[in-house]
Structures are given as structure tokens and as C-alpha cells.
Structure 1
Amino acid sequence: MKEQESIQIFDEKRVRTVWNEEKEKWYFSIIDVIEVLTNSDRSRKYWNDLKSKLKREGSEVSDKIGRLKLESSDGKMRLTDVADTEQLFRLIQSIPSPKAEPFKLWLAQIATERLDEMQDPELSIDRALDQYLQLGYSESWINQRLKSIEIRKELTDEWKNRGIKEGSQFGTLTDIISNAWSGKTTKEYKMLKGLKKENLRDNMTNTELILNMLAEASTKDISVANEPETFDENKEVAQQGGNVAKVALKELESKTGKKVVTSINAKDILKKQIE
């Protein structure tokens, strides 16, 4: 079963989605949808309460909900309740929200766009660019971000080839790379930027993105060359890959006299330029 995870944007908020090629269906993170519709910062509790309510009423909708691994705010892959478009339409009926009807139209549009993208894959790149533009990012930053997604995918594919497990092992290696070049784990990096559920890479500056890409690309290249067989060997490779970017960071900071890793994010810079 081939699945492709992506982020969709509704009302300037992210909704994690997965496209199942065999079933030709979108699956949406239910807690993300609930957060969009209710503006609640406790969407997980809202969903648990809603499931209990539906069961009491004899509804079978929640019983048919599936679970897929989606990237969480800490960068790790975690099992998440997901629903296809038809199931979401039924759930939305139980969620009082003025955004319900616009959201239904959005769901229908997403399904149509995916079919178009299957005929012309370049459309998916164009739509990703449009989504970041809607969120207020500059075009130069977006180009870097799209490239970083490609590099990250190459790295995770290499990890899978080496038998690394998605989830905790991916997260551990990612933290090693991050800490090696930036001096901070993913969690510490997010705390510096004041992030909670937001994606760290979506809040990196151009320079931070470039150095993170260098670290991940170097890790992949070193792994391909050395062919690590154990998890410990992969951890050593991750450290080496991160160190490549650390050298570049130190050199840049020595030339500019400025710190690269800061609390500033890409949209902050754009806002200052506009002002």
C-alpha cells in the first residue's frame, strides 16, 4: 500500500493528510480538522469526548476510523486517527462550527486537485508553492523549503534501506543531526523559536534551512558511502553529517559576527521587510 503524506492548508491552518494510491483516497488527521473547525487548543480531548458521544448515540462512524503514522510536532512519526472524505463529512455534522460548510467545499476541492495532480505531477509542486505563499513566506524561502523536503525524503529513504525504524529511531537520528550542527535537539530548537505544534523547518530562516539541508544531505551521502549496518553505526554517521554543517556554521558566524541559530523565523523577517 503506497501512501504519501502531505500538508494541506485551510484558513491558514495546516491539516496533515495522507494519499493512499491503491484506494485513491485522502485520509485526514481528525484532530487537525477539529482544531480548524473549533479553534480549540485541546483538539485531542475534543475528539475523545466526541467519540464517546457518538458511541452513546449508537453511531458507527468512530468505530470505522483508521490510524496512520503522521509526523507530529516533535518531528516523530506517531499513530494518528484519520478519516477519509466520506467519514469526515459525517463527523462534521456532529461538530457545530460556522466553518463547516466552507470546509466541506474545501474537502471536495482537495479530492479534485489530487486527481489533476495524478495526470500532471508538476501541479503538486505549484500548489505547495501557493500554500506557502498564502502563509506569508517569501518565494526565495519557499524554494529552499521545497528543496529541503526533497533532501529529507532522500535521507529517510536511505534510513529505511538501512533498516532504521520510523518513529523513535528516526527521531533519535534527527536529534543527533540537529544537535551536531546547531547545538540543539529538535525540541530545544522549537523552544528557542517559541513553537508548539508548528513545524520547525517551516520556521527556520533561509540560512538555517540551508545548513540543515547540508547536514541531512551529508548524512545521506556518508551513509551511502559507509553502509552502516547497526543503529549505533547510523548514529555515528548522523553525528558526522551534522558536523559537516557545524563547520560551515562556525565559519559563517566568524565572518559575520552574528549567530545563525536564533529565535527569529522566516515570516518575522518578511514582516520586517514589508514594514
Structure 2
Amino acid sequence: MKQEGAIQIFEEKKVRTIWNQDEEKWYFSIVDIITVLTESKDSGAYWRKLKQRLKEEGNETVTNCHSLKLEAADGKMRLTDVADTEQLFRLIQSIPSPKAEPFKLWLAQIAAERLDEMQDPEITIDRALEQYMQLGYSESWINQRLKSIEIRNELTKEWKNRGVKEGLQFAILTDIISKTWSGKTTKDYKILKGLKKENLRDNMSNTELILNMLAEASTTDISSVVKPKDFDKSMEVAQQGEMLQKLPLTN
């Protein structure tokens, strides 16, 4: 089952989601939805109480909800209760909120936009541009960030072609590349910046993005020439990025 995680924005609040490619549908974090609708300080407790009440009422929507791994506030992947669009429409009926109707419209829009993106990948970039602008990033930074996404996609495509597996192996190679230009693993860099749940690249300066792009683009170019046959050989290719001169970083 192919899954793709993403962060959606509703009224400047982040909602964790996963796109299930096999089912062609979004799954949304229920606690994030509750935070949006109720502004509860403990959305987890709110959901546990609501779930218990709905189960006692024999509500099948709760029974059919399941859990998927999403990045938690501590940066770790943890099982989180999720619901698809249809299930959420039913759950929202049990959550009194003045935001219910605009949120339903937002859910329908997210579903429609994904179908559009599948037909025209360029729309994905336009969506990302719009979201970054909503979050207050500068135009110059956004241009660098979008370019970094393009370069990262080229690198991961190259890794897949060389038999590298998503997940742990991707993470190991990413850490090797990160250390070539920053001297730190991804985890160490997030600690340095005081990040938990936040995306590291979304919190990089222009200079950091450029250095990271240079390292990843160089790795892609070397890999396409060397054509490593397995993960160990891909590690050697990633380590060749050490030849890049390290430049001072600006925050």
C-alpha cells in the first residue's frame, strides 16, 4: 500500500494527512481536526471521550476508523487515529463548532485538488507555493524551497532506480549527505534549531537550502554516472559529497 504524507493548512492550522495511492483517498489525523474545530488544549482527551461516547451509541464510523503512523510532536512516527473524507463528514456532525460548514467545504476542496494534481503534476507546485505564501515565507525563500523539492525528488527517484528502499535506507543516505555540508545528521540539525514536529527544510535559511541542494544534486549526478548496484554502493556515492567545500552557514 503506497502512502504519501503531507501537511494541509486550514485557517493557518496544520492538519496531518496521508494519501493512500491504492485507494486514491486522503486520510486525516482526527486529533488535528478536533484541534481545528474546537481549539481544545487537549484534543487527544477530547477525541478519547468522544470516541467512547460514539461507541456506546453504536456509531459505526468510529469502529471503521483505523490508525496510521504520522509524525508526532516529538518528531517520531506514532500510530494516530485517522479518518477518510466520508468518515470525517459523519464525525463532524458530533462535534459542535461554528467552523463545521467551512471545514466541510475545505475537505471537499482538498479531495478535488488531489484529483487535479494527479492529472497535472505542475498543480502540486502551485499548491505548495500558495501554502508557503499563506505561512508568511518570502518570495525568494519560496523559490529556493520549491527548487529544493524538485532536486530532492530527482534524488529519491535515482535511489529507487538503484534499489534503495524507502524509509530507513533513505534516512541513512540523507544523513550522510547532510553531514557532508553541515557536519550534522538530520536529527542533530533539528535539535540545533529547536525543532520537534516541524519540517527541517521549511526552517532552513536560503544559504542552508542552497548548500543542501548542491549536495543532493551532486549525489544524483554521481549516482547516475557510477550506477551503484546496491545500498552499500549508494552509501559510498553519498559519501563522495564530502569533496564539496563546506561553507559557513547563516541563520
| TM-score bucket of the superposed structures, by smaller chain | 0.7 to 0.9
Cα deviation, 1:117-163, whole Å, max 9, x if unaligned, reads 45554333222211111110111111111111122122222222333
Query: What is the DSSP-based 3-state SS (H/G/I as helix, E as strand, rest coil) of the residue aligned with 1:181?
Result: helix
Q: Match for residue 142 of structure 2?
A: 142
Distance verdict in 2 for CA 1:235–1:46, change over 3 Å: farther
Q: C-alpha displacement at 1:182, in angstroms?
A: 0.7
Range with greater deviation from structure 2 (204-213 or 224-233) = 224-233
Letter of the 2:165 partner, please give it.
K
Q: C-alpha displacement at 1:184, in angstroms?
A: 1.6
Q: Match for residue 174 of structure 1?
A: 174
Query: What is the DSSP-based 3-state SS (H/G/I as helix, E as strand, rest coil) of the residue aligned with 1:17?
Result: strand
Counterparts of 1:87 and 1:16, CA distance in 2: 16
Two-structure CA RMSD over aligned residues (Å)? 3.1
Equivalent pair of 2:71/2:197 in contact (CA under 8 Å): no
Q: Match for residue 122 of structure 2?
A: 122
Range with greater deviation from structure 2 (15-24 or 177-186) = 15-24
Equivalent pair of 2:75/2:197 in contact (CA under 8 Å): no
Instruction: Say if 2:226 is the partner of 1:222.
Output: no
Counterparts of 2:78 and 2:154, CA distance in 1: 20
Cα deviation, 1:34-84, whole Å, max 9, x if unaligned, reads 443344576556555554444343222233235556566788877654322
Q: C-alpha displacement at 1:107, in angstroms?
A: 0.9
Query: How many residues are matched?
Result: 251
Counterparts of 2:50 and 2:93, CA distance in 1: 11
Q: Match for residue 9 of structure 1?
A: 9
Q: C-alpha displacement at 1:216, in angstroms?
A: 1.6
Letter of the 2:236 partner, please give it.
E
Counterparts of 1:194 and 1:111, CA distance in 2: 33
Q: C-alpha displacement at 1:92, in angstroms?
A: 2.5
Q: Match for residue 185 of structure 1?
A: 185
Distance verdict in 2 for CA 1:60–1:230, change over 3 Å: same
Equivalent pair of 1:15/1:33 in contact (CA under 8 Å): yes
Matches within 5 A, 1:46-61: 47=47, 50-61=50-61
Equivalent pair of 2:17/2:26 in contact (CA under 8 Å): yes
Equivalent pair of 2:38/2:97 in contact (CA under 8 Å): yes
Q: Match for residue 91 of structure 2?
A: 91
Letter of the 1:236 partner, please give it.
E
Counterparts of 1:163 and 1:75, CA distance in 2: 27
Q: Match for residue 33 of structure 1?
A: 33
Counterparts of 1:2 and 1:147, CA distance in 2: 25
Distance verdict in 2 for CA 1:226–1:117, change over 3 Å: closer
Counterparts of 2:151 and 2:74, CA distance in 1: 19
Q: Match for residue 257 of structure 1?
A: none
Distance verdict in 2 for CA 1:189–1:6, change over 3 Å: same
Equivalent pair of 1:214/1:244 in contact (CA under 8 Å): no
Instruction: Say if 2:212 is the partner of 1:212.
Output: yes
Counterparts of 1:238 and 1:49, CA distance in 2: 48
Q: Match for residue 158 of structure 1?
A: 158
Instruction: Say if 2:230 is the partner of 1:236.
Output: no
Q: C-alpha displacement at 1:110, in angstroms?
A: 1.9
Q: C-alpha displacement at 1:89, in angstroms?
A: 1.4
Aligned residues: percent identity?
Answer: 73
Q: C-alpha displacement at 1:203, in angstroms?
A: 0.8
Counterparts of 2:164 and 2:46, CA distance in 1: 34
Distance verdict in 2 for CA 1:218–1:43, change over 3 Å: farther
Q: C-alpha displacement at 1:180, in angstroms?
A: 2.4
Q: Match for residue 268 of structure 1?
A: none
Distance verdict in 2 for CA 1:121–1:179, change over 3 Å: closer
Q: TM-score by structure 2 length?
A: 0.81
Q: Match for residue 131 of structure 1?
A: 131
